[in-house]
Amino acid sequence: MRPPRTDPPGTRALLQCSLALAVLAIALPGGCGEAGEPTVPEVVTTKTGIRMVRIPAGAFRMGDDAGEDDEKPAHHVRISAFYMDVTEVTQESYQALMGRNPAKFKNAGHPVERLSWPAAVKYCNMRSLREGLTLCYDPSTFACDLSADGYRLPTEAEWEYACRAGSTAAYAFGDDVRRLAAHAWFRENAGKTTRPVGSKKPNAWGLSDMHGNVAEWCNDLYGESFYGTAGGEDPAGPASGEERVLRGGSWRTSAGACRSAARFSEPPGLADVCFGYEAYGFRCVRRAGPPKERDAAQ
């Protein structure tokens, strides 16, 4: 078991200016870094009333060579486009689909917590069923079909890519930890409880609470040395392992544990009260088809 850690006037002049602006637009987080991807990510509302952001395809360096051992080495990864929930799954949404609310900190607008990995997976399947989509998870084995069009948990690479939203710094907003309080609920400001989702500043792609509030289950098995062999396109984690990945830190963790690259893990069927059971939640993703023609025109 690996619990969460507690501890960047003439025609010629006009042309030069236009070229500089074009380069800047590509370089900025949320800019058009892939042909056919919109500059501002598309937001959709699902049939079950959940807002999702279309995360554009792209490449990034995953991990942190200055971080913990399991965050090394930083490596190049390419990610296909996908949709991700704007916020962590709320108690209201979980109750509506699953008929119960397991959370300790009862409040409809707070993230649901006290969830094991299989419980999060079952919600994903139920949401797929309600919307007539193909299940990603086998109901018996929980094996995940990443090619299905239903809902699932994000891969660890998808999660970090979405969290960074173009940033190469420690956090989505930069390296200055003093700014974290404007973006996250964590140990220093949460008051020993979860808080309403979306009540802090979102990242450049409009995703809220990627830092703090509740740590989020990912689809991947955890491998402490996996980054040594990881990379390529759409990595899905090691083939075997005893624990599942959690990301983002929570209301009970330190600022350092909320970094974009910080990794935690927990046995999937055992959310141990001693190490943060009431701090584990999740958000859903689903694969995205080709960009709309209006997006491709850009």
pLDDT the model gives residue 176: 96
Cα torsion angle, 78, 227, 265, 144, sign: positive
pLDDT recorded at residue 144: 97
The C-alpha atoms of residue 245 and residue 215 are separated, in whole angstroms, by 10
- The SS3 of residue 15 is helix
Q: Give the mean pLDDT of the chain.
A: 86
Please state whether beta strands 215-221 and 244-247 pair in parallel, antiparallel, or not at all (unpaired): antiparallel
Give the model's pLDDT for residue 231: 75
> Token match 């490596």: residue?
75
Tell me if 48 sits within 8 A of 130, measured CB to CB.
yes
pLDDT for 171: 98
Contacts of 80 by beta carbon, 8 Å cutoff, 6+ apart: 57, 233, 234, 287, 288
Between 3.90.1580.10, 3.40.50.1440, 3.60.15.10, 3.10.20.310, what CATH number should domain 41-296 receive? 3.90.1580.10
Domain extents for the chain? 41-296
Please tell me the distance from the alpha carbon of residue 225 to that of residue 237, in angstroms, as a whole number.
11
Dump pLDDT digits (tens) for 47-59: 999 999 999 999 9
Neighbours of 20 (CB within 10 A): 10
Q: Which residues of the chain have pLDDT under 50?
A: 4-38, 291-298
Q: Which two tokens stand for residue 237?
A: 């984690």
Q: What pLDDT is attached to residue 276?
A: 61
Q: CA 236 to CA 62: how far, in whole Å? A: 13
